[in-house]
Amino acid sequence: MKFHIITFGCQMNANDSDWLARALESRGWEQADDEAARVFILNTCSVREKPEQKVYSVLGRLERHLRRDPGVFAAVGGCVAQQIGAGFFERFPFVRLVVGTDAVALAPDALERLAAEPETRLALLDFLPHFSERAEPEPRPGVMGPAQAFVNIMQGCDNFCAYCIVPYVRGRQRSRRPGAVLEECRTLVERGAREITLLGQNVNSFGLDSGGEGVSFAELLRRVAAIPGLERLRFTTSHPKDLDPDVIRAFGELENLCPSLHLPLQSGSDAVLRRMGRRYDRARYLDLVEQLRAARPGLALTTDLIVGFPGETDEDFGRTLEMMGLVGFESSFSFKYSDRPGVAAARMEPKVSEEVASARLDHLQNLQNTLTKDCLEKCVGSETVVLIEGPSRKQDGGEPFWRGRDPAGRTVNVAHGGEADLSGKMISVRLVEAKKHSLIGEKAGAPW
Ligand code: SAH
Ligand code: SF4
Ligand code: F3S
């Protein structure tokens, strides 16, 4: 059976899609492009209205394509699947499987059954009491590049930030057994992974539920970092309120823990942070930044920011801009607040108008571009090591360019024609030029 997966949303979805593709392939199914596929699988994101709407527009487009062939069907997985559930069957009759966020492990069996039973439909939407392990197939690197892998360490989130739908669509926080995390990491390194990113909505609270067997996140980091052959360890996402001194210390102690941290600030205004239910303030965030930079000089900080949260004033917004400058974020993801069904902020007033929110977003992104440029320009002239992810989009007709990342996660494009394929290799590079969002490097040594 030929299948095609379309993925929206965060790295957890990317990781789930990668697993599902491999699980189906291990059963003899084949990945195909749009035209040839018999089964379309949408792995969806519900965090803002836009990605949710995108799901309906993709399904609308598929409907026209599928009408020609009644044997072809679609499955919807991920956060919109959990949110809308069996409602998809009414709106899109060719959707025959709705698989919620805790049921991904059941999707291969369900898809096989649906392929054999053209009249059947299934909705798998139950949350499970524990982290759901997925046995087959064996893990392997590859979502980002041949030497990089994601490893889930927890499911769900208990924070209920006022704007956020994630706790509703991903369920309660459940940590994975540390033994299972380590086993997966070891297998991945044996299979060529040099970089592992540990994933969870709120990794700093790993182990605070019963699933972690009393192992803290800092301890988990130490155990994973000790795996021989693992060159780079990253993790995402951190919540500032749970970032404890032991994790900060780990940045100073663990050489292969990369010098970068994504630490979502959301807003620079204490009043807005309070209404968001984030449970930290500016002073606490700045204190964390100071401690982190003391533990690991040069640590690169990136963040998430929301503009136009209900009640946000020009002054509140000014405080966000001010924090951006104080911290000097290398880059940020910034979003206009978007009302989500059922979340606390949906009932908060006054809403900020679309025009004001758009203007604030523009303003913020312009400032970020300047901050990013400053950070990148500071790197020019230094030497670093780049882990190559694949060929670069930048090609100028001469030597081929390769795209990779430095230890802090900055994108570096390197001209290098010496070898057929540099993907997965680490190369020493001299940084020679800063572009808007990336660096240009020249090879400074042989690949290793
Ligand atoms: N668990 C992570 C990320 C969650 S979703 C964390 O706590 O940081 C990723 C980002 O989407 C959030 O950090 C937030 O900036 C943004 N986001 C979430 N809900 C949103 C909403 N309703 N409107 C706009 N942005 C939102
Ligand atoms: Fe959403 Fe907050 Fe949980 Fe992040 S920590 S997933 S923003 S509720
Ligand atoms: Fe989106 Fe779900 Fe991830 S809402 S951001 S795909 S957890």
Q: Is 168 helix (H, G, I), strand (E, B) or coil?
A: helix
- Band of the pLDDT at 165, cuts 50, 70, 90? very high
Average pLDDT, integer, range 228-242: 97
Ligand 2 lined by 157 (C-beta under 6 Å): yes
Q: In 415-439, which positions are buried (b, 16+ CB within 10 angstroms) versus exposed (e)?
A: bbeeeeebbbbbbebbbeebeeebb
Residue type at position 161: C
Q: Using CA positions, which residue lies closest to atom 7 of ligand 3? A: 166
CATH topology of domain 145-258: Transcription Regulator spoIIAA (3.30.750)
Whole-model pTM: value is: 0.96
Confidence of residue 141 (pLDDT cuts 50, 70, 90): confident
Place of tokens 């069957």: 89
Q: By C-alpha distance, which of 193, 200, 198, 199 is closest to 148?
A: 193
Amino acid found at 316 = D
Residue 445 pLDDT exceeds 80:
no
Mean pLDDT computed over every residue of the chain? 95
CA pair distance 401, 414, nearest whole angstrom: 5
Cα angle at 242 between 240 and 244, to 5 degrees? 100
Residue 47 to residue 298: CA distance in whole angstroms: 32
Mutate-to-test residue for ligand 2 from 45, 165, 201, highest number of ligand atoms within 8 A of CB? 201
Q: In this structure, which ligand is nearest to the CA of 263?
A: 1
Say if CB 307 and CB 366 are below 8 A apart.
Answer: no
247 C-beta closer than 6 A to ligand 3: no
CB of 157 closer than 6 angstroms to any ligand 3 atom: no
Per-residue model confidence as pLDDT tens digits over 347-367:
999 999 999 999 999 999 999
47 touches ligand 3 (CB under 6 Å): yes
Q: CA dihedral defined by 215, 221, 222, 225, rounded to 10 degrees?
A: 140
327: Cα separation from own chain's centroid: 22
Task: Identify which of 446, 414, 422, 427 has the alpha carbon closest to the alpha carbon of residue 384.
Answer: 427
Beta-bridge partner residues of 441: 414, 431
Residue 269 has φ and ψ, to the nearest 5°, of -100, 125
Model pLDDT, residue 210: 87
The residue type at 192:
G
Mapped onto helix, strand or coil, the DSSP state of residue 401 is strand
CA–CA distance, 415 with 111 (Å, rounded to integer):
44
**Whole-angstrom Cα distance, residue 25 to residue 17?**
12
Q: Is the pLDDT of residue 75 over 80?
A: yes
Domain limits, the chain: 2-124, 145-258, 293-378, 383-443
Same fold, 145-258 and 293-378: yes
CATH among 3.40.50.12160, 3.40.50.2000, 3.40.50.620, 1.20.140.10 for 2-124: 3.40.50.12160
Residues 168-199 have pLDDT tens digits of 999 999 999 999 999 999 999 999 999 999 99
Is any ligand 2 atom within 6 A of the Cβ of residue 159? yes
- Banded pLDDT at 131 (limits 50, 70, 90): very high
Q: Which atom of ligand 3 is nearest to the CA of 44?
A: 6
Which residue has the CA at smallest separation from atom 2 of ligand 2? 161
**Domain 383-443, architecture per CATH:** Beta Barrel (2.40)
Among the four given CATH numbers 3.30.750.200, 3.40.50.300, 3.40.50.720, 3.30.70.20, the one describing domain 293-378: 3.30.750.200
Checking if the pLDDT of 145 tops 90, the result is no
Write phi, then psi, for 354 (nearest 5 degrees): -55, -40
The CB density around residue 11, as the number of other CB atoms within 10 Å, is 15
Strands (E), 274-423: 300-307, 331-336, 383-391, 401-405, 411-415
Q: Which of 158, 239, 303 to mutate to test the pocket of ligand 2 (most atoms within 8 A of CB)?
A: 239
Res 419 pLDDT > 90: no
Given the DSSP bridges, would you call strands 401-405 and 411-415 parallel, antiparallel or unpaired?
A: antiparallel
